[in-house]
Chain A
Amino acid sequence: MFKKVSASKGKIVTIYFEGQPVQTEEGMTVAAAVLDPSHGWSRTSHGGQKRGPYCQMGVCHECLMTIDGIPNQQACLTMVVEGMQVYRQDGAPDFHKENSHE
């Protein structure tokens, strides 16, 4: 859906989106890194509609995902880190499943 128009500059890192490895580079936001493997959707609304990052700058909150066990993270403001686990957020976050961030 999106293509690279310029050669990468950053170091290659691997993150996991819905359990699947995704190669990306340092300096990318999670929202940008998973744009293709996620087919552009990052979460579902309360009513179950698919939603995708809309603003890429921290305003709309459509990119909320569960990152390393913490729900409600703005993927467009979070930078990728080697080994990061990224999951789509299904409706409202399930805080009972939240892992500690420590």
Chain B
Amino acid sequence: MSSVWDVIIVGAGPAGMSAAIETARHGLSTLVVDRQNEPGGQIYRSVGSSPMSGKLGSDYAAGLPLVKRFLECGAQFEAGANVWDIAPDRVYYSQQGKSRFVRARQVLLATGAMERPVPLPGWTLPGVMGSGASDVLLKSAGLLPEGPVVLCGNGPLILQAAVHLSHFKVPVAGVLLTGRLGNALRAMKHAAGALARPGYFLHGVSMAAKTLLKQKCVMGVRDVAISENGQGLDVSFATQGGKRKNLSASTVLLHEGVISESRITRLARLRHAWDQTQRYWHVDATVWGQTSAPGLRTAGDTVTVRGAVAARAEGSLVGLDICRELGRLPLADRDREARPFLRTLKRCNALQPFLDEYFAPTPSMLQPHPDAIVCRCEELTAGDLNAVIREGCYSPDGLKAQARPGMGTCQGRICGQAVVEMIADAHGLPLENLPLYTAQPPLFPLRLGELIEMPSPSDLL
């Protein structure tokens, strides 16, 4: 395999695949690397091989033709490839225990998003997982929890999970919604935008209606704590009226929205922006995916979480602009070909403020109970960390140095955002002044031997 490419794309989700289709179509040598075994990303996870293809609705099925086109577009696809560092024009990755680096004229980071980790007591117990994790198991392995399940959180994906569970007749003990009751009112000022995608909007309304009618839903839930009770799990929570209640479950699925996975873009020291409504850091980029570093691009949920339809349009736009930059597409042609994608993106952008406001995270949920483990790797509770923060620690990196959160194998992916919220709250600091932990290579645990054995491409010697 060549070690120098026109384009390297990190991530074979909707954005990465769409970009590759454009660059390969215009004759650019394109390498796409992804950690998963198959293209699709999380939203179209395993759609090419899933036992569930055709059973999870049209949004999921829409991934199948895209995956097909991608696999036939002429781009080289490397599966199970874990990118652990990037430098200008260079991407380092590990695959089956061996590392190598490849170079490119343009690099596109399309690594997507993750569920926002919101620490609460007992969330580290086996049987508790992200609702996204359950979704992955369903898509890739045809597995669902036997139930009873308690769903807890806020966001459109929790409604979707509830609909899937009831479709497959999994007993649901309750759906605990942690959103603020006032969010609906605040979202109304963006209602006109919601109608830019009437189909999507109505789909959401019908999911909500189904969930509310079929499941035992509790709104405005607070102070959630999970414990073991011998047979399974016990979920204790406070209702809006302040009453404490309990539910028993064998599986608890948590979800507090989706945020950009920004480790790789932070590692590249790109300029980032703070999303005030949804409260997360994301890389800053133009509609053509241009970041603050020339040659380094981004697309999809990495830039802003807007879902698969927007990610596909963005990926295509970035792909087209890479073709222009590398001399394969005159500006006028790029603009002409970009038109339908820009229209799609415009509709997605019009809807997004409504969703962001409606499903805005509840600030009190983001301040963990003192007993909650915040850093799962180093087993540090909010109480441990708050003691250090209040003594006079004003930044996530400072806290990392003083108390070790973010030093474990996940390298702060799980506790990073929580720690930012805690420091901001303790000292009354604006969140936009608090960057996440500084990202360091390697992005994933790597054997030292693998580093030593890494070959240098002969053309660099």
Interface check B36, CB cutoff 8 A: yes
Q: Tell me the minimal C-beta distance from A80 to chain B in angstroms.
A: 11
Interface residues of B in 341-388 (CB under 8 A from A): 376-379
Q: Tell me the minimal C-beta distance from A23 to chain B in angstroms.
A: 14
Q: Count of chain A residues with Cβ under 8 Å from any Cβ of B? A: 42
Interface check B37, CB cutoff 8 A: yes
Closest partner residue, chain A, to B129 (CB atom): A54
Q: Tell me the minimal C-beta distance from A39 to chain B in angstroms.
A: 7
Band of interface residues on B:
35 or more
Q: Tell me the minimal C-beta distance from B418 to chain A in angstroms.
A: 13
Contact A52 B129 (CB under 8 A): yes
Closest partner residue, chain A, to B79 (CB atom): A79
Q: Tell me the minimal C-beta distance from B332 to chain A in angstroms.
A: 41
Contact B49 A9 (CB under 8 A): yes
Chain A residues within 8 Å of B284, by CB: none
Q: Tell me the minimal C-beta distance from B184 to chain A in angstroms.
A: 29
Measured in the bound complex, the distance between the Cα atoms of B115 and A39 in whole Å is 23
Among the 9-residue stretches B142-150, B269-277, B289-297, the one with 4 or more Cβ atoms under 8 Å from chain A is B142-150
Chain A residues within 8 Å of B115, by CB: 55
Measured in the bound complex, the distance between the Cα atoms of B127 and A70 in whole Å is 26
Interface check A90, CB cutoff 8 A: no
Chain A residues within 8 Å of B134, by CB: 56
Among the 9-residue stretches B318-326, B406-414, B420-428, the one with 4 or more Cβ atoms under 8 Å from chain A is B406-414
Contact B126 A39 (CB under 8 A): yes
Q: Which of B55, B143, B378, B379 contacts A3 (CB 8 A)?
A: B143
Contact with B along A1-23 (1 / 0, CB 8 A): 11111111110000000000000
Given A59-B414, A72-B409: A45 and B379 interface contact (C-beta under 8 Å):
yes
Measured in the bound complex, the distance between the Cα atoms of B414 and A59 in whole Å is 8
Q: Which of B141, B376, B414 contacts A32 (CB 8 A)?
A: B141
Given A1-B250, A39-B126, A60-B376: A6 and B132 interface contact (C-beta under 8 Å):
no
Q: Interface on chain B toward A: helix, strand, loop, or mixed SS?
A: loop
Contact B409 A32 (CB under 8 A): no
Chain B residues within 8 Å of A51, by CB: 124, 126, 376
Chain B residues within 8 Å of A84, by CB: none
Contact B143 A54 (CB under 8 A): no
Chain B residues within 8 Å of A60, by CB: 117, 376, 410, 413-414
Given A1-B145, A1-B251, A55-B132: A6 and B52 interface contact (C-beta under 8 Å):
yes
Interface check A101, CB cutoff 8 A: yes
Interface residues of B in 45-77 (CB under 8 A from A): 46, 49, 51-52, 55
Measured in the bound complex, the distance between the Cα atoms of B130 and A49 in whole Å is 19
Contact B126 A41 (CB under 8 A): yes
Interface check B133, CB cutoff 8 A: yes
Given A2-B143, A49-B379: A7 and B51 interface contact (C-beta under 8 Å):
yes
Chain B residues within 8 Å of A28, by CB: 140-141
Can you spell out 12 A-B residue pairs with CB atoms less than 8 angstroms apart?
A1-B250, A2-B144, A3-B143, A5-B144, A8-B51, A28-B141, A35-B143, A45-B379, A51-B126, A70-B97, A77-B35, A77-B36
The residues of A with any CB-CB pair to B shorter than 8 Å are: 1-10, 27-29, 32, 35, 39-41, 45-47, 49-62, 64, 70, 72, 74, 77, 79, 101
